[in-house]
């Protein structure tokens, strides 16, 4: 998706305002340094064979710039959180606010209520003025103090609102759909030649945004999912032919299921959208499960909600408020198929089904996610103050980068069935690479 040509970052104009941040450009004086617009980060770092590929994708490095587009004293910023809850939303709000307030001296920072709805005056949800007192301890709580919602709003209505409220920088925290909405706002802003920067902060508990190696909330979600797997393992273990079946988030990508499997080390079968499987037949999942039960009397299954969609073909395609395709419920489907199979086989089993859903996403961020949120938010502020727009803060090869929003939403990250992560899952579960020939 990324090409050497499409990674250039749009800006609102030349940067003429000196930054008030206490940094300089001198190395070796103990005082931290500004990051130059010319610093680039290599996207591809593996080299197969002797010569490196050319030309290569070089991303703009994120960080505080020496000169700003916006004068902090006259800047008005706003933050909006969209889509489903995700551990760390409050941390992002808090760090963005504190960076704007303390380090840049921006006086007005608004919190938009309930996602993009709060940018539509019809909803009657005026923004809230953020203050140090208001954000003081919000990072200790799950959720978002601003509220959130799914689904788009008309770009022209939202830009009217931004113009009316004299907002200069809008930070859009959200996933794929949210970033598409942010890009639509950018286009409308550009059409009107307004001095408004739109900065995307990627958020997806599924960890499936391209250009972002690890999204915030993912680490916390893995922890919680691991706890559920432990419970399911205990339940399976405590019953004769006990089967623990856990449905985990992962609409299109199996990162949570794979990560939780590795963290738990108790799972026997991990099923993800990226690796199709069959239920029937000698090497099908049901027969392999049966062999496992006969050998060990219990089994633990982790299934991503988007796995095995091809198995359930009876219902027409539906979409939710965010435009995501509604999936058939693979958890319930599997439970029913397993029950029917062992009933037919006259082998009594005890299935315990777990659907933790929201329980893994409405908790406070763990330490890793807290750190990630803090840095993402501050980088977003640096980008916005420098007049970067239509830009998303990326994280690749351990470095924060700037990525054009339109490029970031071109594709999604997937678990590669031939990659290191899935190799580790197979090693940890001992399951066969596939449950049948395809």
Residues of span 161-200 touching a copy of itself by CB under 8 A: none
- Confirm or reject binding of residue 39 to a copy of itself (CB under 8 A): yes
Nearer to a copy of itself, 48 or 193 (CB): 48
Out of 231, 312, 332, 436, name the contact with a copy of itself by CB under 8 A.
231
Among 58, 194, 311, 332, binds a copy of itself (CB under 8 A): 58
SS3 at position 34? coil
CB of 172 to a copy of itself, least distance (A): 17
Q: Is 85 in the site for a copy of itself (CB under 8 A)?
A: yes
Which residues are within 8 A (CB) of 89 and not within 5 positions of it... i.e. 6 or more apart? 81, 143, 144, 148, 173, 203, 217
- Shorter beta-carbon distance to a copy of itself: residue 163 or 294: 294
Closer residue to a copy of itself, CB minimum distance, 144 or 389: 144
Q: 131: number of CA atoms within 13 Å, CB side?
A: 4
The reply to whether 232 sits near a copy of itself by the rule CB under 8 A is: yes
Nearer CB in complex with a copy of itself: 170/260:
260
From residue 254 to residue 293, the character string flagging contacts with a copy of itself as x (rule: CB under 8 A) and all else as - is -----xx-xx-x---------x------------------
Beta-bridge partners for 384: none
Nearer residue to a copy of itself within complex by CB, 323 or 430: 430
Q: Which stretch binds a copy of itself (CB under 8 A): 56-64, 71-79, 164-172, 323-331?
A: 56-64
First-last CA distance in the chain:
28
Residue from 171, 56, 151, 157 nearest 109 by CA: 171
359 binds a copy of itself (CB under 8 A): yes
Contacts (CB under 8 A) with a copy of itself, residues 114-133: 114, 117, 125
- Chain-centre distance for alpha carbon 90: 15
Does residue 374 belong to the site contacting a copy of itself (CB under 8 A)?
A: yes
Nearest distance from C-beta of residue 33 to a copy of itself, angstroms:
5
Residue 395's φ and ψ, nearest 5 degrees, are: -145, 110
Known catalytic residue: 206? yes
Nearer to a copy of itself, 21 or 189 (CB): 21
Q: Across the strands, what pairs with 170?
A: 78, 198
- Is 420 a binding residue for a copy of itself by CB under 8 A? The answer is yes
Choose among 7, 100, 86: nearest CA to 390.
7
Residue range at the interface with a copy of itself (CB under 8 A); choices 3-11, 310-318, 333-341, 414-422: 414-422
- Shortest Å distance, C-beta 43 to a copy of itself: 9
Q: Is 422 in the site for a copy of itself (CB under 8 A)?
A: yes
Q: Which of 11, 230, 324, 406 binds a copy of itself (CB under 8 A)?
A: 230
Interface with a copy of itself (CB under 8 A), residue total 97
Task: State which residue, 179 or 241, has the beta carbon closest to a copy of itself.
Answer: 241
Catalytic residue from among 71, 156, 176, 206? 206
Q: How far apart (Å, rounded) are the C-alpha atoms in residues 76 and 93?
A: 15
- Report residue 230 as tokens: 């432990």
Q: Residue from 63, 88, 306, 308 that binds a copy of itself (CB under 8 A)?
A: 63
Cβ contact 340:284 at 8 Å: no
Distances (CA, A) of 142 to 57, 221, 331: 37, 12, 26
Query: Environment class of residue 258 by beta-carbon count within 10 Å: exposed (0-12), middle (13-18) or buried (19+)?
Result: buried
Judged by CB under 8 A, the stretch of 215-223, 278-286, 324-332, 335-343 that binds a copy of itself is: 215-223
Residues 6+ apart with CB under 8 A from 386: 11, 15, 37, 65, 67, 68, 69
Contact window for a copy of itself (CB under 8 A) among 92-100, 165-173, 300-308, 331-339: 92-100
Strand pairing report for 67-68 and 17-18: antiparallel
238: contact with a copy of itself by CB under 8 A: yes
Q: Please, are residues 254 and 218 in contact by the beta-carbon 8 Å criterion?
A: no
Task: Measure the CA–CA gap between 43 and 205, rounded to whole angstroms.
Answer: 23
* Rounded Cα gap, residues 415 and 162, in angstroms: 38
Nearer to a copy of itself, 12 or 205 (CB): 205
Positions marked active-site: 206
């Amino acid at each position: 998706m990324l090409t050497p040509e499409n990674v250039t970052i749009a800006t609102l104009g030349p940067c003429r305002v000196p930054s008030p941040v206490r940094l300089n450009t001198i190395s070796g004086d103990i005082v931290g340094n500004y990051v130059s617009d010319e610093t680039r980060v290599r996207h591809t770092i593996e080299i197969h064979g002797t010569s490196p590929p050319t030309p290569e994708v070089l991303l703009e490095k994120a960080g505080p710039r020496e000169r700003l587009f916006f004068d902090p004293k006259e800047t008005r910023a706003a933050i909006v959180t969209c889509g489903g809850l995700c551990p760390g939303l409050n941390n992002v709000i808090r760090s963005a606010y504190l960076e704007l307030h303390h380090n840049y001296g921006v006086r007005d920072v608004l919190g938009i209520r309930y996602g993009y709805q709060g940018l539509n005056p019809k909803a009657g949800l005026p923004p809230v003025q953020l203050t140090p007192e208001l954000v003081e301890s919000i990072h200790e709580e799950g959720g978002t103090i601003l509220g959130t919602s799914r689904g788009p709003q008309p770009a022209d209505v939202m830009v009217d609102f931004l113009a009316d409220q004299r907002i200069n920088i809008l930070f859009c925290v959200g996933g794929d759909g949210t970033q598409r909405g942010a890009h639509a706002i950018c286009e409308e802003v550009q059409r009107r030649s307004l001095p408004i920067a739109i900065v995307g902060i990627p958020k997806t508990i599924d960890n499936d945004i391209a250009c972002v190696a690890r999204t915030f909330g993912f680490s916390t979600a893995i922890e919680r999912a691991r706890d559920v797997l432990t419970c399911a393992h205990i339940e399976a273990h405590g019953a004769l032919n006990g089967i623990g079946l856990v449905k985990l988030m992962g609409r299109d990508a199996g990162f949570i299921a794979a990560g939780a499997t590795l963290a738990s080390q108790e799972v026997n079968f991990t099923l993800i959208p990226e690796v199709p499987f069959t239920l029937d037949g000698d090497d099908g999942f049901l027969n392999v499960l049966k062999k496992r039960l006969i050998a060990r009397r219990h089994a633990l299954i982790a299934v991503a909600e988007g796995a095995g969609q091809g198995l359930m073909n009876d219902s027409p395609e539906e979409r939710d408020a965010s435009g995501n395709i509604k999936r058939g419920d693979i958890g319930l489907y599997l439970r029913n198929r397993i029950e029917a199979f062992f009933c037919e086989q006259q082998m009594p089993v005890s299935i315990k089904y777990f659907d933790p859903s929201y329980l893994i996403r409405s908790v406070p961020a763990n330490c890793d996610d807290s750190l990630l949120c803090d840095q993402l938010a501050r980088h977003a502020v640096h980008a916005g103050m420098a007049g970067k727009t239509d830009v998303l803060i990326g994280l690749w090869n351990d470095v924060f980068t700037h990525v054009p929003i339109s490029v970031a939403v071109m594709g999604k990250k997937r678990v590669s069935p031939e990659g290191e992560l899935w190799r580790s899952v197979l090693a940890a579960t001992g399951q066969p690479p596939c449950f049948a020939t395809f």
